[in-house]
Amino acid sequence: MKLTVIGLNHQTAPLHIREKLAFPAGILPDAVRDLNDRAAAEAVILSTCNRTELYCVGDAEMIIGWLAEHRGVSVEALRPYLYVYGCSETIRHAFRVASGLDSMVLGEPQILGQMKEAVRTAEAQGSLGTWLNSLFQKTFSAAKEVRSRSGVGDNVVSMASASVRMVENTVGDISGLNVLFVGAGEMVESVAAYFSAARPRLLTIANRTLARTEALCAKLEGNLEAATLESLPQILHRYDAVIACTGSQHALITREMAENAMTARGGRRQFMLDLAVPRNIEAETAQVEGISLFTVDDMTAAVEHGREARRSAAETAEALVAQKVADFISWQQSRQRVPLICALRQEGERARRQVLENAMRQLAKGTAPEEVLERLSVQLTNKLLHSPTRALNKAEAQDKHLISALTHVYRLSDSANTHTE
């Protein structure tokens, strides 16, 4: 069993592949439990709009097979987009992801919260064991320090602020627009706050449940309305900008709905931004005249602003990550030596008790204490040196590592080592 991460992200896979392998929040608990039951001794699934990653203790090929089967794709179709890391590479990758160094938006803070939520889900399902628990505890503490010491997250251009800029560049000033949000989750709440601050003419939030929608509206300011997803076909034409981000596994806005909306709008331009993975807006909607459809992958250029200014901070962060990874690996190795140290001391204690019992019996028989002490010291020396002496006698000439180790442990002279060669 080995620590590994199997995943794909915005750098290795296009959107149409990522959406096939995404784990919506509704199915994530069952999925991580099934992964733990069938393919991995420990498991955490991180699924965001830009990445799907399986952090596991287990056989990588079995985990890849499980992923392909669970998401209904073939291993052959999946493999070109995957990265598969071993133990030390997994540790480094986790530290970099949590620090925002592997994100589309360099230094963005949301990924750290998403990783913590993934770990909480795994813990609730019983799939978090000793290895992954220690990995993520160290990951989170390292990420906090890396961010604060490097400043890599300073002046980050968020997806929310970039969305506002994209809308204004496409259909005009926010204050003169009707804006529709589809969904009421964390991402929509973040983006909607930026739009609300820009005071659009009307801001509507459509969600499956009105209660959640109304609760979000209460946090925002301006001319606000709540709507249901069922009402989308009837109200879509009213909005100049539409931003969608829900956990639905199916499109909520179809090409037909978009065509009907454009007819009702009399051809007036409409901006659509789909931040969801899987997508909430049918890709074919982009073919409707008058609609400008953008996806999460189109955000790359918008969030590049300021990356150069943060490059120096990123270099500092990478150096800190490398040090934190080395510290964690050293700590893990020291923990792995603890059972060996305990076993060695137990063996020494067993030998001590045995020769002590022999000595006590000799004293009880009236043997002179000096003679008993002499025998005790000889017996104890022989017992403690028996195993290393036996190993040396059996060692071949090429077993230089064993010879060197014993020379070092017992602090023997170089001449003794040379004499054995």
Bridge pairing between strands 291-295 and 202-207: unpaired
Positive/negative CA dihedral, 276, 278, 282, 285: positive
Counting Cβ atoms within 10 Å, is residue 193 exposed (0-12), middle (13-18) or buried (19+)?
middle
Place of tokens 């963005």: 108
Q: Is 12 helix (H, G, I), strand (E, B) or coil?
A: coil
- 49 assigned to active site: yes
C-alpha 307/C-alpha 152 separation (Å) is 10
Nearest Cα residue to 83 out of 136, 28, 32, 13: 13
* Sheet of strand 2-9, all strands in order from the earlier edge strand to the far edge: 42-47, 51-58, 2-9, 83-85
CA-wise closest residue to 296 among 107, 47, 16, 24: 16
No. of H helices and E strands in the chain?
Answer: 17, 10
229 within 8 A of 254, measured Cβ to Cβ: no
State the catalytic residue, choosing from 49, 56, 217, 245. 49
Instruction: Identify the burial level of 233 via C-beta atoms within 10 angstroms of its C-beta, where 0-12 means exposed, 13-18 middle and 19 or more buried.
Output: middle
**DSSP secondary structure letter of residue 81:** G
Candidates 90, 97, 248, 100; CA nearest to 182 is: 248
Residue position matching structure tokens 């060669």: 421
As given in the structure block, the two tokens for residue 222 are 């301006």
The neighbouring-strand residues paired with 58 are: 2
Angular region, 363: left φ>0, alpha ψ -120 to 50, beta rest:
alpha
Active-site amino acid positions: 49
